[in-house]
Every structure is written in C-alpha cells, then in structure tokens.
Structure 1
C-alpha cells in the first residue's frame, strides 16, 4: 500500500474511475492540485499550474472549484481525513510498544512520502482558520484514541492528565517530522547521521520515550536495535 498520497489518487483514478465524465475531470484536477502543491507549495501554486498539469482548459477548473484555495482545501482535507488515518492505525493484537512504534514509524514515513503536502498543511492553516481547526481536530481525535487505549490497559488513571501527556508526545512527533522532513534542520540531520540513525531508528527512540511516559512500569523492549537500546538506556535507568 503506497504511502504517497499522489500515487494513491492516481491509482484510484485508474482502477476505479467515476462513471460520469465530469467527476473524472474533477478527480484529474484533484490529482493535479496535489502534484502542484507537493512541488511548488500552496503560496506559489497558480490555477494555470493545475490545469496545465491536468491537461484541461482553465475554464474547467472553475466548474469544480471556486479558486486555488478551494482546490487545496479539498485535497488536503482528503489527505487528513481519509489517507493518513488509513495508514497510521496499528494492527490489532500488538503490544503497547509495538503499537506505538508502528504509529510513529508510519507517521515519519507518511511525511517522508508527502513532504510538500505536509508543508502545505502548515501554510494553508495560516490563511484558512477552518482548515487549521480541521487539522487540530484530526490530531485531537488521534490523541483521544491513544488516551482511550492507555486507560484500557492501566487502571486508576484520569482522562485529562493522560490526554495531556499524549498531546505533548504527539507535539514531539510533529516537531520531529518538521526537523527531519518538512523543514529539514541541518544540525538535526547531521546529528542523526553522526549516530547512524535512519527514520526507523529515530521513530523507535521516540517510541521508547512514549512507552516510558505512558507505561512507566514496562520493561525496555527486547527487540530494539543495539544503537537505539544504547541511546535510550538511560530512560530505563534507576527509578
């Protein structure tokens, strides 16, 4: 299953195209919008860029979208509401750490597969308050799911403190992908390279922190790589 939203849209259009020609044109414009957003960003995108990419007349664009903001909102809303949740939800019957690690690895991989689109989420959030609220609501829904999972496995906890910790940990992951993928931080990239840390290793190290905060009595995971175990050994030091 591809982690590229553009590949996903193109594959869906090819394998399951809408029956009506007008809807097919709209889907082509959505694919084109996603491509231009990924390549140029929201601020630099022009309607002519989209129509040239879709190979349709410029007038056709305004049949389906009011302006470039409307098209961008349509594409990025689908990314947030449909595509990301499809890939980040861990399979059932996994340990707490395996579920955390799966979600964190997938989050980094999704941002790696769609860096320009993730950047556009931040760009458009500054100009469209309703989209910023949607992005926040998407994050909040995920945090609530994680919070509910923690409370199912640990008795005697209150919802609000757990939700706060999960939100803080989620913010850590958001900042991590900003430094790693969306707006690469040269110092952070250099540090990761110095330690020989790829995306999976960074996700695993972050997941150890998640485990220590949410499940403080859990032992260190047995299947960590030697480098991650060494880098995070102090997390499981004297209590």
Structure 2
C-alpha cells in the first residue's frame, strides 16, 4: 500500500506536492497556536522547506488558510459522499452520518474549526461564504419537509427556523466540547460514535416529534424512555 501511495505522489506535479506540504504544515501549526498567532516562518519550519518557497505558492498566510478552510467547507457540503451508505428514507442514519463527519472533524482538528470561527469574525467575505454553505446544507433538509410532513401547516420560513434552531444545539455542544474544552462535557468521556448518535437522536426527536427507531440506537437507547 505505501508503494502505491508513493507512485501516486510521484505522478503529481511538483507544485501540487509543495502546496499540499505547506497546507499540512499550516494545519499542524494552526492546531497548536491558532490563526492569530500563525506565522509564515512557523509554517515553513514545520514543512521543512525554505522560507522563500512559501511566497512562490501563496501571496500571504490568509490565502493559504482560506484554501484550507474552503476544503473543509467542501467536505461538509459533500452530501452524496457523506450519505453514500444510507438509503434516502432512513432519516435517522442520514442525520447521524452528517453528525459523524462533524464530530470527527471537531475531534481531530479543533484548531481548524476554531479558525473558521476566527475567520468569520475577522473577514466578512469569508463569513458570507461560510454562512451560505451552512444555509445550503440546512436548506436541503427544509426542502424535503413538505414531503415528509404533507399535512404540516408550517410556513417555509418557520421550517427554516426550526431546522436552524435544532442544528444550533449540536453546533453549540461541539464547540463547547472540542474547542472550549468544557470540563462538564469532557467528564462524560463520550466516544465520537456516542456523541454523534446522541446529537442525531436529539435532532431527530425535535424534527419528527418522536424517538428514532429502537433498532438503530446503539449508544442512546435510554433516550427512548423519555415519552409521555
């Protein structure tokens, strides 16, 4: 397997390999110090390349970081890939598949996710791109709402409000757990699979006003005891 990877790398243009090396180095440094403390010399030192090589491929740190963050945005938007093993009518596992990506991304790269927050605060253009991406992802769910609930009397703007509010719960938990390192949440010692299932189950309950199917719960089955 390593040999195949080496051959694939050898076939890639030298410039593409250098850019990937710089991006990987920038990700590593971002995880340690955050965007506001990021320096070109730290990135090139991490990459093991001459400082002058950086400006051969990137005009400044902002352009490098934007390229990294845009790749993360594309990753979150890859719905077909995320849901590739789930049938369209399996709403609980469709939700869970997205939460699995979100939880894994926060767990593995909390610095990058925090960098997105920092970029949103500092750069109105990037904030608009991130919000547009977030809105598109949630709109996919809002668009199918009339078909899932044909008797619903909710107006489209009310459906969007509900979907955004439910999604916000998970976003807050992920930020508190992996970025803010909230000790109360860390004390729960939840695995990525457990947290993704709990967040998906809570979203499902809020959206469908019922519990997820019992057979699909591996970690949050006690949630089923909450009924009237």
Same fold (TM over 0.5): yes
Equivalent residue number for residue 165 of structure 2:
168
Aligned length: 219
Give the TM-score taking structure 1 as reference length. 0.80
Equivalent residue number for residue 148 of structure 1:
143
Structure 2 stretches of 5 or more lacking a match? Answer: none
Equivalent residue number for residue 131 of structure 2:
136
CA-CA distance at 1:12 after TM superposition: 8.5
Indicate conservation of the 8 Å contact 2:22/2:44, yes or no.
yes
SS in structure 1 at match of 2:166: helix
Equivalent residue number for residue 59 of structure 2:
66
SS in structure 1 at match of 2:21: helix
Indicate conservation of the 8 Å contact 1:32/1:54, yes or no.
yes
CA-CA distance at 1:155 after TM superposition: 0.9
CA-CA distance at 1:141 after TM superposition: 1.0
Give the TM-score taking structure 2 as reference length. 0.83
> 1:25-174 counterparts in 2 under 5 A?
25-81=18-74, 83-86=75-78, 89-91=82-84, 92-93=86-87, 94-157=89-152, 158-174=155-171
1:231–1:137: structure 2 CA closer, same or farther, 3 Å change rule? Answer: same
Equivalent residue number for residue 177 of structure 2:
180
CA-CA distance at 1:137 after TM superposition: 1.3
C-alpha RMSD over aligned residues: 2.6
